[in-house]
A and B are shown apart, each in its own frame.
Chain A
Amino acid sequence: DTEVTQTPKHLVMGMTNKKSLKCEQHMGHRAMYWYKQKAKKPPELMFVYSYEKLSINESVPSRFSPECPNSSLLNLHLHALQPEDSALYLCASSPVGRGRETQYFGPGTRLLVL
């Protein structure tokens, strides 16, 4: 099973709202990733968790707050976002997170910030 699931599929929020994105994988992987993708552009890495510890933060603004409650779950908490944060947010997982691995992606959450 190579499935990574993400909820919700779509999210509309105002700039003062607080919301969360959720990602789940059941492949026994120990690394999980958040990417941001603008239309017709490649994904941009935001965060990497390896063995439930944050290993990479690509200088992402603090209005994005990741959380990894366990090795199967990854959340992205959103607060005080800007309209330019509207994008597709992709979650991915891989076996251990040391590179030279295949990453498997979820279907994404389409976020619109008004």
Chain B
Amino acid sequence: AQTVTQSQPEMSVQEAETVTLSCTYDTSESDYYLFWYKQPPSRQMILVIRQEAYKQQNATENRFSVNFQKAAKSFSLKISDSQLGDAAMYFCAYNDYKLSFGAGTTVTVRA
């Protein structure tokens, strides 16, 4: 089974500031996908961003961007200009055969 590690159980960020969530994974595969999902207290799991391992360019979606370091097996998420609506649990996930999730990071946004 693939291992996904999120070492930060909780992160706090001031509104309008930037926060970075870390994620590392373990795999012997060369072709896989990586994801960040967001789950607000209302519970729906929403896709934030996706990275395909064969693409060297880091994915970006509006205020969300990733730093994908394939050799280091690292996949961090940067949230810029944080908003109150960004408060949620964020899960890093790896998918080659099936989806493996990290333990999650709870992000709180201070007004």
Contact = CB atoms under 8 A, between A and B. Distances in A.
Interface residues of A, number: 21
A20 to B, nearest CB: 20
Contact of B98 (A88, A99, A108, A110): A99
Interface string A57-74: 000000000000000000
Contact of A42 (B31, B47, B104): B104
Contacts of A105: 37, 44-46
A102 B93 CA distance: 10
Nearest to B37: A105
B104 A102 contact: no
Nearest to B32: A100
Q: For chain B, give the interface size range.
A: 20 to 34
Nearest to B4: A42
A100 B98 CA distance: 8
A45 B98 contact: yes
Contacts of B13: none
A51 interface: no
A100 B99 contact: no
Nearest to B9: A40
Interface of B: 31-33, 35, 37, 42-47, 50, 52, 89, 91, 95-99, 101-104, 106
12 contacts: A40-B106, A45-B98, A45-B99, A99-B95, A99-B97, A100-B32, A100-B33, A102-B47, A103-B95, A107-B42, A108-B43, A108-B45
